[in-house]
Amino acid sequence: MFEVKSPLTYYPMTVGDYTLKHTKQKSSFGLFEKNAPWMGYNYDNHWQAREFYFELQLAKGVCITTGLGLGILQTNLCLNDDVSKVIVYEKSNDVVDIFHKTIEKNNFDISKIEIRIGDADSLANEKCDCLFPDHFDSEPEEHVVRVVKELSENNQAGVVWYWPAGVHLHKFLISKELEINNDSYEKWKKHTGITNLPNITDDSVFDYFKELKNIYQNDADAPGPKLEINYVEKTVERRKKLQGLYKK
């Protein structure tokens, strides 16, 4: 239903400490830093691209992004006529080289993209229409939310959405035992303290959030988000069972 794909085909290559290669999992490509996986791309279900559906709905004008990785978000933004410029902060020259080599093989137009090598946590203050941070790994939620809040305030971003906001939203809903709807979404927004998270004006976005939860719980070969959500859910289930036991 919410289809997004990477417009790029990936090819095996190594640059410095980074390697792009097929993974053991069928139809999957992975970007590794010294053999530790950074991210992957699954050609069967494209879940890593579907994670960016909401950013692509919100995108317009100047978009500041952080973390280049496989460039899935950035190349999709290039294809969006409402987007005039895509700035990306990336810390690794090797990742940038791999991206440029991949772009060359795909003959893809990246004239809208400006790559800035640097630490995304302290990027230059600059007004932008959209801010899409995605340079986090498994840092604690409080850290991610604090950095996103600082970045979005410094950059006077019209709107901000970050990875893994979907995970944070679902964790919040699960812990409060809430269904996803405008009311619970607004509660989560208030809980983060990030004032320029978007208002939802189209209810189909809630169906997308439900699909995202499914991806994390069933499809994802990324252990981080999947385990995090299951962990909270299992804890709530266990707590309910225990409450039941004590009642007896």
Ligand X SMILES: C[S@@+](CC[C@H](N)C(=O)[O-])C[C@H]1O[C@@H](n2cnc3c(N)ncnc32)[C@H](O)[C@@H]1O
Which residue's C-beta sits nearest to ligand X? 69
Q: How far is CA 43 from CA 28, 48, 143, 164, 235, in A?
A: 6, 10, 32, 21, 33
Cα(135)–Cα(208) distance, rounded to whole angstroms?
Answer: 22
Cα(136)–Cα(66) distance, rounded to whole angstroms?
Answer: 9
Nearer to ligand X among residue 147 and residue 173 (C-beta)? 147
Cα(19)–Cα(98) distance, rounded to whole angstroms?
Answer: 8
Interface residue with ligand X, options 121, 141, 153, 221 (CB under 6 A): 121
Q: How many CB atoms lie within 10 A of CB 125?
A: 10
Tell me the per-residue interface mask from 25 to 44 with ligand X, x by CB under 6 A, - otherwise: -------------xx-----
- Shortest Å distance, C-beta 175 to ligand X: 25
Residues 156-175 that bind ligand X (CB under 6 A): none
Tell me the per-residue interface mask from 61 to 90 with ligand X, x by CB under 6 A, - otherwise: -----xxxxxxxx---------------xx
Nearer to ligand X among residue 94 and residue 233 (C-beta)? 94
- Shortest Å distance, C-beta 107 to ligand X: 19
Q: Which listed range, 114-122, 176-184, 221-229, 240-248, lies at the site for ligand X (CB under 6 A)? A: 114-122
- Shortest Å distance, C-beta 76 to ligand X: 8
Q: What number of H helices and E strands is found in the chain? A: 9, 9
Q: From the centroid of its chain, how far is CA 27?
A: 21
Contact 110, 16 (CB under 8 A): no
Residues 6+ apart with CB under 8 A from 146: none
Residues 92-111 that bind ligand X (CB under 6 A): 92, 95
What are 44's two structure tokens?
């069967």
Cα(126)–Cα(152) distance, rounded to whole angstroms?
Answer: 10
Tell me the per-residue interface mask from 123 to 152 with ligand X, x by CB under 6 A, - otherwise: -----------xx-----------------
Tell me the per-residue interface mask from 203 to 232 with ligand X, x by CB under 6 A, - otherwise: ------------------------------
Q: What share of the chain is helix, strand, coil (3-state, %, to 5)?
A: 45, 20, 35
Residues touching ligand X, count (CB under 6 A): 20
In the complex, the residues that contact ligand X under the rule CB under 6 A are 38-39, 66-73, 89-92, 95, 119-121, 134-135
